[in-house]
């Protein structure tokens, strides 16, 4: 991880919140156009030992929200207003990696497609997140 990415990831820790930290989400790349992160399957499973679908949604919303916040810029915030996800296959071990790609970046809305894959590069989940962009509270 480069020093620049490390500083960005540290600052994103404040933006991404306690849930993302407790789930073990790590940021690998971050720019307004594309955010990449990964999350361990262990500790984020449902009773059958499979990656919990809600955990995939948390990863997707975290990555898309970070991209939206970077797109919005200083003095603005991003608030998720819609997420949808299709769960294609299960994951039982290792890490899943999410890639959030901006598909719309406007003044008031930003939308990201998020693809989550397992360590064998098989698609686990496809999600889409739209965030509303607002001025930060004074």
Structure tokens at 6: 């490390």
114 within 8 A of 100, measured Cβ to Cβ:
yes
Output DSSP code: residue 2: -
Give me the active site residues, please.
Answer: 61
CA of 119: how far to CAs of 17, 89, 99, in Å? 25, 13, 13
């Amino acid at each position: 991880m480069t020093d620049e990415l490390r500083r960005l990831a540290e600052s994103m820790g404040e933006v991404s919140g306690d849930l993302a930290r407790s789930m073990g989400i790590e940021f690998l790349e971050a720019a307004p156009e594309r955010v990449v992160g990964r999350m361990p399957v262990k500790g984020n499973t449902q009773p059958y030992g499979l990656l919990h679908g809600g955990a995939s949604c948390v990863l997707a919303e975290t990555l898309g929200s970070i991209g939206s916040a970077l797109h919005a810029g200083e003095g603005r915030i991003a608030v998720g207003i819609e997420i949808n996800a299709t769960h294609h296959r299960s994951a039982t071990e290792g890490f899943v990696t999410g890639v959030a790609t901006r598909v719309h970046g406007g003044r008031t809305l930003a939308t990201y497609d998020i693809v989550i894959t397992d360590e064998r590069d098989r698609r686990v989940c496809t999600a889409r997140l739209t965030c509303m962009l607002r001025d930060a509270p004074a």
